A and B are shown apart, each in its own frame.
Chain A
Amino acid sequence: MEKMVNIFLFGKKYEVPENLTIMTAMEYAGYQLVRGCGCRNGFCGACATIYRIKGDKELKACLACQTKVEDNMYIATLPFFPLVKQVYDIEKVKTNEAVMMQLYPEIYACVGCNACTKACTQELNVMQYIAYAQRGDFEKCAEESFDCVMCGVCSSRCPAGISHPQVAMLARRINGKYLAPGCGHLEDRVKEIKDGDFKDLIEALMQKPVEELKELYNTREIEK
């Protein structure tokens, strides 16, 4: 017999097997999820959840699909949080801190409470990446925020009203497009294809009998 624990979904008590995640526990309890359920594997940020273990002062945040239930866990899902997403043209955007002052000036009102970092479901150093964004160090901001799933829990805890995931999104796009080194072999290959350098080779493959293609495939050289 599997061991059962008591959990409280939005305050209501349910008894569920202790080996379930919060998400599967909700389903076990009978919820047919529409909101708050996406990839079920920790990549999409749909299932942000806050909880408190009875008697514990600390309010914790997690992804429901990645977290096991515990006895006396009080659970509230946060399937949507109103982040501020500023619209911009990636082709015309400034690539230094001026863009942050223009689009997300509230990041300069950060009070350094570190509540964002403590709340992060991915254990990222959120306050640090905001600091990088403030000073226009987008490469570091991008690196530090890379694993962000944009669940929004950080922003729900922020007294300054910062939409951290959107700030990081902007920084990553600027870094990827403008600051990261360009790629010569990619540009060359795109040009070669446009110039038709591979046209004959491909055309020949299109016409070849399957038997010849099998031979080609089965005897091809594989790079070490």
Chain B
Amino acid sequence: MYSEKFQKSIAAVEAARAQNIAYEPQRMTAQEKIDLLAAYHPDYRKDEFTELTIGPNKGEKVPTELAEMLQAHSRITADSVDLSNPDYDVDVLVIGAGGAGTSAAIEAHEAGAKVMIVTKLRMGDANTMMAEGGIQAADKPNDSPAIHFVDAFGGGHFAAKRELLSKLVCDAPEAIQWLSNLGVEFDKEADGTMVTTHGGGTSRKRMHACKDYSGAEIMRTLRDEVLNREIPVVDFTSAIELILDENGNAAGAVLLNMETKDMLVAKAKTVIIATGGAGRMHYQGFPTSNHYGATADGLVLGYRAGAKLLYADTLQYHPTGAAYPEQIFGALVTEKVRSLGAKLVNTDGTVFVHPLETRDVCAAAIIRECNDRGNGIETGNGLGVWLDTPMIEAIGGEGTIEKRIPAMMRMFGKYGIDIRKEPILVYPTLHYQNGGLDITDDGQTTNVKNLFVAGEAVGGIHGRNRLMGNSLLDIIVFGRTAGKSAAKAAQDAVVGSLTLDHVTKFEAEIAAAGIETEAISPKLLPNYTNKANI
């Protein structure tokens, strides 16, 4: 139940509902989208970005908060770590245990490599676990990998690396099959046909889902498989610096036990960075839908070791973060809510954007509606617009919400809001790191040998915006690829003597560039102590 102050606006939404359901809003033209994004999307706010003055991407701009981490001091000095007697010695070291890291580990193990996972929190504490809506794959007769390619390339503003994107779309059906064979329960019709829907910017219904626990269902299955294979998982342990060998190839990592603060050394023939995203950096002060450990660690590790970043200046703000109640402020409201028919409406009950425009366009339209147009709803934590969830049951019939989006029903239900009967308030939330480390289509970084990357820490697969359902897809496709490639590379790798000279060198660059900073990185965890909110 909403308090009195919302009732007038809710009445307007209800009055317009029948008409809004029937109304098919115009999609924007290419030019309208360009203008909207330039005026309202956070990526276009020049004062929120800082130019890097050292490292492989010197001269490029990244979010100010990320620049601070990329140009910060290491947590160690080279002479404070003894590399002569490693605590672990493996073929493949996987850093991170979300969907990408576990997929990589399973494939590396399958290829016969001695593989080990280290992860900052627990296995599965990752954005994968929180992905709700689904995973794309062009597996229906009216669809094809080529159509999927065009959707994703256009949605990403024609900036994706084509060889990565073509791998993503061509390997997609097999990724679904692989997951299905592991026991992931996709929503199916009685005859086995996949239940698929649209996502923002898709031209075919190719969104596969596991209710609205899609990521959780995939993650817990992958986790179970890692445990079944008895792959060693060192949890509550962060990688805080990569180790290179004398030839400049990746050869392990310095690890930090998050609880005891013990420092450990892992030697490896190949290393896979699968550390995920950066929502907990709270770029531009945005709330986030990301998990607690999403602090761009992998970007920092890679950058300091000399790996290049691609599109690190572009982030995804999911249009529908929860704007109310404050206890779930910033939490993800899955795009599937719109796939199932709910539209975005303003305080007067007017539909102001096609609900299935791409995420960047939808987010920018909501920001415009709330700011310049003054048609937002004051929530107590800022502004928001309505996402008219009761439309779903009006279109799909009673019971649709409980069956298709039970997590959403539960999340709001805990605060007395029945989304079957009442609309919900939303505003953009920091959701995804479009950019990351630059790789080739075997998952290896473009300029550090034996260093592989998978998942959200990669840049270039999606370009400058990502479509719904292509991230769960990319963690599987590129996680598996990185695992196979790293296992193969490990067979031939000859590891020279280990070194942290790059850390010393980076420190010298900081001094030479005159950067005065007290920051140390990677950040590892956000600090929320003594704060009432977030």
Contact = CB atoms under 8 A, between A and B. Distances in A.
A193 B534 contact: no
A59 interface: no
Interface in A191-217: 193, 198, 201-202, 205-206, 210, 213-214, 216-217
A97 B331 CA distance: 39
A41 B431 CA distance: 13
A147 B407 contact: yes
B343 to A, nearest CB: 16
Interface in B105-119: none
A38 B180 contact: no
A181 B162 contact: no
Nearest to A80: B122
A17 B191 CA distance: 53
B376 interface: no
User: From DSSP, what is the main secondary structure of chain A's interface residues?
Assistant: loop
Contacts of B258: 34
B142 interface: yes
Interface string A26-52: 011011111101111111101000000
A39 B292 contact: yes
B8 interface: no
Contacts of A35: 236, 259
A107 interface: no
A79 B176 CA distance: 32
A146 interface: yes
A39 B130 contact: yes
Interface stretch (A5-13, A85-93, A155-163): A85-93
A160 to B, nearest CB: 22
B527 A24 contact: no
Interface residues of B, number: 88
Interface string B173-216: 11011001111111010111110001000011100000101011
Interface of B: 27, 29-30, 121-122, 124-125, 129-130, 137-142, 144-147, 149-151, 153-154, 158, 162-163, 166, 169-170, 173-174, 176-177, 180-186, 188, 190-194, 198, 203-205, 211, 213, 215-217, 220-221, 224-225, 227-228, 230, 236, 258-259, 289, 291-292, 326-328, 331-332, 406-407, 410-411, 414, 525, 527-534
A218 B203 CA distance: 11
Contacts of B138: 189
Contact of B183 (A39, A172, A206): A172
Given A27-B528, A41-B332, A217-B154, A185 B166 contact: no
A30 B211 CA distance: 37
Contacts of A217: 150-151, 153-154, 158
Contacts of B525: 32-34
A149 interface: yes
A181 B183 contact: no
Contacts of B174: 190, 193
Contacts of B122: 38, 44, 46
A169 B219 CA distance: 12
Given A28-B530, A147-B406, A177-B182, A185 B141 contact: yes
Contacts of B30: 214, 218
A42 B227 CA distance: 23
A1 interface: no
Contacts of A213: 150, 153-154, 158
A126 interface: no
Given A42-B411, A181-B191, A198-B146, A176 B185 contact: yes
5 contacts: A146-B185, A173-B221, A183-B193, A190-B177, A202-B145
Given A185-B194, A202-B149, A205-B150, A169 B224 contact: yes
A61 interface: no
Contacts of B198: 223
B124 A44 contact: yes
A88 B144 contact: no
Contacts of B530: 27-28, 30
A38 B129 contact: yes
Contacts of A43: 129-130, 213, 215-216, 407
